[in-house]
Structure 1
Amino acid sequence: MAQIPENYFPPKEYWPKYVMPEEFVMPDNTNLAYCMLDRHIDAGKGKRPAVIFGDRIMSYAELQEASCRIASSLADLGVEKQDRVAIRMVNCPEALAVIFAMMRLGAIPVPMSPLWSKDEIGFTLNNAEAKYIVVSAPLMEEVEKAKDKFQYTKNVIVVGGNPKDWEAKGYLTYASLLDKGDSKVFTEKVDVDDIGVILYTSGTTGPPKGCIHFVKEILCESYLVNKYVWRLVEGDILGGSAPVSFAAGFGTFALIPFYAGASVCLIGKFAPDVLLETVQKHKVTVLTGLPTAYRALLRFPDFDKYDISSLRMATTGGDALGVETFNAWLEKTGQPIYEGLGATEMVHLITSNAVNMIPKAGSIGVAIPGFDIKVLDENGNECKPGEVGKLTVIGPTGPLYWKPYADDERLLKTQKESVTEGRAKLGDAVYMDEDGYIFFVSRESDMIKSSGYRIGPAEVEDALKKHPAVANAGVIGSPDPLKGEITKAYVILKQGYSASEELAQEIVESCKEYIAIYKLPRAVSFCDQLPVTPTGKLLRRILKEWDKEDKYPTIRIS
């Protein structure tokens, strides 16, 4: 068993308070591969579909055998309990086989974004001290560029392509490991306080942060999200395109549906026609995706040609859905989109509109039972309904950062800021209404503080985008000697419109119909693009750099 040094964890006084709800009963065998896979087969459900991918259907029994073979070969390569093994893969059945193989050994999966560059790959592999990395052949280019920076990783295991070609380059291959591995079913004894996964953040504010999650967190979160959100049962099929080898997709497709004994339908890459065809062909019952995916579906001209009547639920998270998208989907399909809030630091969801199945447009829902959520002001007092404050939570999961003393104690400071007396602060500015529904305002770091007011940039962006000339907008706080900050808007114009001071004034004036006067932009810069992550999230820190550099001319609004 790999020994993890004590200083790879934060001091215990800064840990979150892990509270398991009474309704959750910890299983006797806590090996995650057993809980997600083997126990369903023991119950006689081995022939049930586990993974659907294109025309491929892999049963629970077939997935079990593949995971056992890979686990056996990984053990022969020296992978032990609590060793870290990274995974950077496209969505496919093999990705799940690899994940369950690691779990079977009690090893720690380290999911890595398929979109990361060589620098992010190298940093994360070294930070996690991953013994091996498993990579899909199409994603090898950046890994090969990062190879010279590997400090702990012994070799790369390549999935797909021509095995002989990869082996000729000195790499290991999934095909060879599968062929040589023993199919005998086995699981390593795992304790509830062993690490079950290290999920890394996307790295939008700096290097990716490793978030430790223990086995007990994973099991309880899988139980709660399934019971109160998706309500998956045998025969349900959960579909979507989130990468199974990264944070949100890992929980969505490798944990919760398998805890429930349901099936997953993986989509390699989102495209409206591909997703709709998949739902129609495989009778997907629960759809999950980013808000950007639902907006793309609503704009897709051939939407109505597809039969999606098998869907009983659509869910979203990761970014603000918005009232307009919620209403448009409801009008088009007759079903709501159930929005929720999750975090890499919390394993998965902590709120959802699906808890009581009565969604409120614009809300991220209510607390999932088992999570005690409070909105607190700057002094730690509970906010009144409608008052914006910090989202805080105590539950079965919580933020615990890996290697907090590395890089000049970068994450030790983050850990101290994230937990106070066991209660986690996730950095979200929100408000709660009288019914307990929570409304996301902004990331706390993105809140604009102007003349004593706190302004959420998303609300201003929504108002700006209602003007017929505006294609997109990004809003930040810009330093101001009198007000502390002013609201500044970066605006992309639609085709046919030209930037001018008059148009900037007109756009801002139009916002008065939707937001309070104190929230109006006092500066506008027209630009031809906005900085976003590969999944479409706005990078406000880049906008702040643009503001500091005067990258685009600024028009002051009187």
Structure 2
Amino acid sequence: MSRPAHPIEPSSDQITKLSSSFSKVPNLTDYAGEYMRFTWRDAWRLLDGLPGEKGYNIAHEAVDRHAAGPKADKVAIRWLGKSGDRREFTYRDLSEATSRFANALINLGVLPGERVFVLMGRLPELYVAVLGALKARCVVSPLFSAFGPEPIATRVEIGDGRVLVTTLGLYRRKVESVRAKLAGLAHVILVGDETFEDAGLHAWSALMETASASFAIAPTDPEDMALLHFTSGTTGRPKGAIHVHGAIAAHHMTGIYALDLHDDDVFWCTADPGWVTGTSYGILAPLTNGVTSVVVEAEFDAQTWYSVLQRERVNVWYTAPTAIRMMMRLGSDVVKSYDLSALRFMASVGEPLNPEAVVWGQEAFGIPFHDNWWQTETGGIMIANFAALPIKPGSMGLPLPGIAAAIVRRLKNGGVDGIDTPMVEGELALRKGWPSMMRGYLNEEERYRKCFVGDWYLTGDLAKRDSDGYFWFVGRADDVIKSAGHLIGPFEVESALMEHPAVAEAAVIGIPDPTVGEVVKAFVALKPGHEPNENLRKELLGHARKRLGPAVSPKQIDFRANLPKTRSGKIMRRLLRARELGLPEGDLSTLESDEK
């Protein structure tokens, strides 16, 4: 296939004008120059590596190298409990605590390469367990604490989990009933100081008290498996995406480029570590960049979040479109009652950010939300709207330095061909070779191979690329709607519906039609103060038809109190489609909210 064109600086007459005043000079000001100059070899030089040239270990780069230097007494993690508790860990504190846990695992006979699953809410022990297990060269797999027993058992079984770290309450409610079928699960470590008669149950406090706070990380190959992140498919069992210790180079650089992290920043990623964002950017990227990371135990509440931003003087905030839309429901006046003057940069990920949400960020906060794109499989941010560059609302942005992205079409012979014409839809592809690229799906080599054609990883996402090099998300390849010869991306239709003042959220699917193949059907959740009725339905249909034209606009609209979402905030269109058509619902283990 043809080589992708290098991204270029956008022209000022084609972009949304945003404020050019910065409280700090952004890290990436010469995008075109840096894109051309960048090499991953140079990126590795920004990291230390293990002493004695013994490789690269994620925990060393994120914690120990800072604990041994001038940042030793700097706050690494500031934890805010939902009951008002507050705990701070300096880099030295975090180094000692993670060393204790690494020693505790070794004292239990846990070997390098064995899998440690972590199941709990955003407690300090979660962060210590993840980093400590990485020090011990175990493979870490964080799980959502909201998972039920079967999703937990499925993942631990697929991953051949040797250790599970959780709380006593979660163990009794969600693990105890399925533990008998997890033959390989030798140790369950329960946060707290209770004692247990079961030889396989261990109190966290007892293990930590008897373990040494000194630990020398053994030689670690950058290609050693480090993280196992599960991602759900449309059908069948979840897939375990394998990531390696060398991925830390991508976490580090994307923190600099895409999140614009500066040395003295206070950073807050709202994602749960049970989702890949909560690990890559809720734990690793801020720590490897030596900043102070805020961790909030409580779940979403807009005014509580505004209070955190104000009180902690957060500079960089990374959140999700679902949360942004929920904040939008309350309006911008609520935001303006808080002093958020410390906030310099806001970013979003999880699903495409609708244009109106970008504009609302500018209105409510005085700065826009910067959308970015990546996947569990990519391990880190691949395409982003950067701090120093203009934003095109609704766009994914530009590829990061070190990332070659292209729009391709699949050929009948199994190959692909590049699409160079601007704004022609195709599949988004990335050239292999970035450090955080998944190295496989655990025990599913054939499934992994199907993701690649030659040197290109095929993402399964449909997108377009404009003449300025910006990428525009269309939809998942299996979400695209084919109607009367038209290929309709659900995101475009959803964004048009959300421009209506009554609409809080929208999801669009295609349903079979004997004449045109498929017609567009929308599911809509309304903002407070608006009631579902036939007049509003007709008004929304007319609004969409006017905005999109008759070929693309929805032919049917159903009102829902809530739309089904994953715990990472993605609307589950395939579940809406399955229920509409009476098809198998597939894996529902990541389902967060639902209204049948």
Please give the range of the TM-score, normalised by the shorter of the 2 chains: 0.7 to 0.9
Aligned equivalent of 1:362, options 387, 394, 397: 394
In structure 2, what is the equivalent of residue 241 of structure 1?
Answer: 270
In structure 2, what is the equivalent of residue 180 of structure 1?
Answer: 210
> How far apart, in 1, do the equivalents of 2:560 and 2:367 lie?
37
Deviation at 1:28, TM superposition (A): 3.7
Aligned residues: 523
Distance 1:447 1:399, change over 3 A: farther
Aligned equivalent of 1:95, options 110, 121, 126: 126
In structure 1, what is the equivalent of residue 373 of structure 2?
Answer: 341
In structure 2, what is the equivalent of residue 228 of structure 1?
Answer: 257
Distance 1:166 1:305, change over 3 A: farther
User: Are 2:461 and 1:428 aligned?
Assistant: yes
Per-residue CA shift, 1:431-459, capped at 9, x if unaligned? 11111111111111100012221101122
> Counterparts in 2 of 1:505-520, with a 5 A limit?
505-520=538-553
Distance 1:463 1:249, change over 3 A: same
Distance 1:67 1:144, change over 3 A: same
In structure 1, what is the equivalent of residue 407 of structure 2?
Answer: 375
Deviation at 1:181, TM superposition (A): 0.6
Partner amino acid for 1:45? K
Per-residue CA shift, 1:322-358, capped at 9, x if unaligned? 1111111101222111110011101121111016532
Q: Verify the 8 A CA contact 1:355 1:366 in the aligned structure 2.
A: no
User: Are 2:122 and 1:86 aligned?
Assistant: no
TM-score (norm 1): 0.87
Distance 1:121 1:22, change over 3 A: same
Distance 1:471 1:78, change over 3 A: same
Aligned equivalent of 2:427, options 386, 390, 399: 390
Secondary structure in 1 matching 2:178: helix
In structure 1, what is the equivalent of residue 578 of structure 2?
Answer: 545
Secondary structure in 2 matching 1:106: coil
> How far apart, in 2, do the equivalents of 1:90 and 1:252 lie?
16
Distance 1:136 1:350, change over 3 A: farther
Structure ranking higher in helix proportion: 1
> How far apart, in 1, do the equivalents of 2:251 and 2:530 lie?
50
User: Are 2:23 and 1:23 aligned?
Assistant: no
Distance 1:93 1:291, change over 3 A: same
Aligned equivalent of 2:288, options 259, 262, 271: 259
Deviation at 1:532, TM superposition (A): 2.4
> How far apart, in 1, do the equivalents of 2:390 and 2:515 lie?
45
> How far apart, in 1, do the equivalents of 2:273 and 2:474 lie?
28
In structure 2, what is the equivalent of residue 288 of structure 1?
Answer: 318
TM-score (norm 2): 0.82
> How far apart, in 2, do the equivalents of 1:342 and 1:443 lie?
13
Distance 1:371 1:101, change over 3 A: same
Distance 1:22 1:52, change over 3 A: same
Unaligned residue ranges in structure 2 (runs of 5+): 1-37, 51-55, 81-85, 585-596
Q: Verify the 8 A CA contact 2:351 2:569 in the aligned structure 1.
A: no
Partner amino acid for 1:148? A
Secondary structure in 1 matching 2:377: helix
User: Are 2:245 and 1:215 aligned?
Assistant: yes
In structure 2, what is the equivalent of residue 459 of structure 1?
Answer: 492
> How far apart, in 2, do the equivalents of 1:491 and 1:305 lie?
30
Per-residue CA shift, 1:290-321, capped at 9, x if unaligned? 01222333444642232211111111111122
Q: Verify the 8 A CA contact 1:87 1:109 in the aligned structure 2.
A: yes
Deviation at 1:230, TM superposition (A): 2.1
Distance 1:53 1:468, change over 3 A: closer
Distance 1:378 1:452, change over 3 A: farther
Q: Verify the 8 A CA contact 1:201 1:247 in the aligned structure 2.
A: no
Q: Verify the 8 A CA contact 2:78 2:89 in the aligned structure 1.
A: yes
Distance 1:550 1:355, change over 3 A: same
> How far apart, in 1, do the equivalents of 2:537 and 2:583 lie?
17
Comparing 94-103 with 467-476, greater Cα deviation is found at: 467-476
User: Are 2:350 and 1:318 aligned?
Assistant: yes
Deviation at 1:472, TM superposition (A): 4.3
Distance 1:189 1:70, change over 3 A: same
Aligned equivalent of 2:452, options 410, 419, 444: 419
User: Are 2:54 and 1:38 aligned?
Assistant: no
> How far apart, in 2, do the equivalents of 1:439 and 1:167 lie?
57
Deviation at 1:549, TM superposition (A): 3.3
Distance 1:467 1:297, change over 3 A: closer
User: Are 2:521 and 1:482 aligned?
Assistant: no
> How far apart, in 2, do the equivalents of 1:473 and 1:219 lie?
36
Q: Verify the 8 A CA contact 2:229 2:242 in the aligned structure 1.
A: yes
Deviation at 1:47, TM superposition (A): 0.6
In structure 1, what is the equivalent of residue 74 of structure 2?
Answer: 48
In structure 2, what is the equivalent of residue 5 of structure 1?
Answer: none
Aligned equivalent of 1:139, options 160, 164, 170: 170
Cα RMSD of the aligned pairs, angstroms, is 2.5
In structure 1, what is the equivalent of residue 23 of structure 2?
Answer: none
Distance 1:94 1:523, change over 3 A: same
In structure 2, what is the equivalent of residue 277 of structure 1?
Answer: 307
Q: Give the share of equivalent positions with the same residue, in percent.
A: 28
Partner amino acid for 1:401? G
